[in-house]
Structures are given as C-alpha cells and as structure tokens.
Amino acid sequence: MAKTWLITGTSSGFGKALATIVAQNKDTNLVAAARHLDDLAYLDAFDAKRIEKVVIDVTDEDQIKAGVAKAIERFKTIDVLVNNAGLGYFATIEESDMDQVRYMFEVNVIGLANMTRAVLPTMRRQRSGVIINLSSALALTTLPTMGYYSATKYAVEGYSDTLRQEVADLGIRVMTVEPSGARTQWSGRSSQKVVPTIKDYAAFSDSVASVADSVTQAPGNPKRIAQVMFAQANASEIPAHLPLGDFAYHGGLANLQGLVTEIQSRENISLSTDD
C-alpha cells in the first residue's frame, strides 16, 4: 500500500524539494500544504491521483484540522508527517522585535506542535508512522544575531526528544533533522532581520545586513538534503537525529564536546547538592 506523506511549507525550500521527490515516487501519496494554493502549481506536472493540495497556515488551528481531515478523507491514512514550515530571524538579543519573535515561535514551535497533535490520533490507531521535525544546525550550536531563532529550534529538539519517548511503544518514530545553511528562502523572504544600531554590536551589522545573500551562496543543496531525508525516512532504522552539512556536524560536535567537558569539570559541585 502506498504511504501517504503530509508536508508543510511546500511552497519553497526543503518542503518544495521533498514534495517533488514524493510526487515523483509511484509508491507514495502526497498531501502538500502551503498558505497559498497558487504556490503549488509545480505539482500539476505529476499524477493528480496521488496528490492532494491543502491550505495550511500552521498558526491557524482550524486550517490544520481541516487540512488533516481532508488528507485522511482522501487517502485514509497519514504515514509520514514532515513539519517543515518555519521562519528565520536575524537580530541581536537586545535589539530584537519581540512581536516578530513571538510570531516566529508561533510558526516554528507551536505550529509544529499543533500539526503533530492533529496527526497523532491517526498514527496511534495505525500503530505506525514517522514524524520528521525540521530543526537546524543552530540547535546544535549557536551564532551571534541568531539567538531567538536558535531558541525556537532548541525547543523543537526538546519537544521531539520527549515525544520520541512517549510514542516509542506505539510504532511511531520521530526524526529531527538539523540542516546547515542551505540555498532556500529561509534567510530571504521567509525571514525578518534587524540590523544592529547600538554601537556595541556594530561588529555584527554587516553579517545581518548581508544575510539574504545566503539564499544563493549557502553551501547546502536543498534538493540533496530532501533526498537524504526521504531515504532516511524509508530506512529500516530511522535515526533520531539527522545533522546535515559540515557546520551541523563539526559545529554541533564541538559544542557538545565542550558541554561534556564543562559538565564533567563540575562533577564535585553537582553531586554535592544531593542529600
């Protein structure tokens, strides 16, 4: 039986690349979610019998419920949920616009959680399913001016690690993907930025001002990243974490090794607090 994939944020970037792969595969059905159906015209080139387009803004719970219901009505099942929809944000902590930060949390964290909650009852009934949550290399390490974005992705990591434990005995697998910088609109139209104006943060002004350049200059190939995600989601053993790219691997490893060293150096202090 063909597996049904529901992917959010399929208008561009990783979501579009992955949706294209799923649409090309004769053994899969695709439920492609985006805020505007016009952005999904590229899917008209594929077999319409295996594709359902749905309008889902992940900050709108009614659209989430309606989109998931439509997917189940059409294909009777959801086997793979890919929580891909997300936003970037570039600013120092002190100069960040908190309204924009709150909205980013609504998309990157709450929207992801609400999509998952809507799909979990179906996966529990099936006693099977794969949930893929798009995190970031910046949940493994951090960079200046990306603190609040990192905070959303650290939240996705903690959420996913907990969910993985809760559904492990239900036949449901949870994979967190941590891509390095890639040539997507994550740093373009899908992001906001505040160029530092406080003189003490002047060293970061150029990097924020030029952040849109990564749309074309970032090393990561979104099509290649989507191919790896598709392959790993269909593997006999699905990884809990999937860091992709040099920065995710080496940056994350260095950060984690530093954390291990620091924790071990505080052993006597830490253990002395127990009664």
pLDDT digits (tens, 9 = 90+) for 154-209: 999 999 999 999 999 999 999 999 998 655 555 556 568 889 999 999 999 988 87
Q: Could you list the residue range(s) of the whole structural domain that residue 30 is in?
A: 3-86+97-192+215-271
Catalytic residue (one of 149, 160, 190, 214):
149
Q: Nearest Cα to 139, choosing from 191, 84, 176, 102?
A: 176
What mean pLDDT comes out for the span 119-133?
A: 98
Within-domain flag for 266:
yes
Respond yes or no: is residue 135 known to be catalytic.
yes
Q: Which residues pair with 244 in a beta bridge?
A: 179
Respond yes or no: is residue 70 known to be catalytic.
no
Within-domain flag for 25:
yes
Within-domain flag for 201:
no
Within-domain flag for 204:
no
CA 216 – CA 183 distance, rounded (Å): 5
CA 110 – CA 97 distance, rounded (Å): 19
234 CB neighbour count, 10 Å cutoff: 14
CA 161 – CA 137 distance, rounded (Å): 16
Say if residue 216's pLDDT is above 80.
no
| Predicted local confidence at residue 187, as pLDDT | 53
Domains contained in the chain, number: 1
- Asked whether 113 and 37 are in contact (CB, 8 A), the reply is no
Respond yes or no: is residue 149 known to be catalytic.
yes
Which one has a higher pLDDT value, 185 or 219?
219
Q: Nearest Cα to 35, choosing from 50, 51, 57?
A: 57
Catalytic residue (one of 89, 136, 153, 159):
153
| Predicted local confidence at residue 215, as pLDDT | 53
CA 118 – CA 94 distance, rounded (Å): 36
CATH code of 126's domain: 3.40.50.720
Say if residue 97's pLDDT is above 90.
yes
> 64: Cβ–Cβ under 8 A, 6 or more apart, which residues?
56, 58, 111, 114, 115, 118
Within-domain flag for 205:
no
What does pLDDT average to over the chain?
91
Catalytic residue (one of 11, 16, 96, 135):
135
pTM (2 decimals)?
A: 0.92
| Predicted local confidence at residue 212, as pLDDT | 54
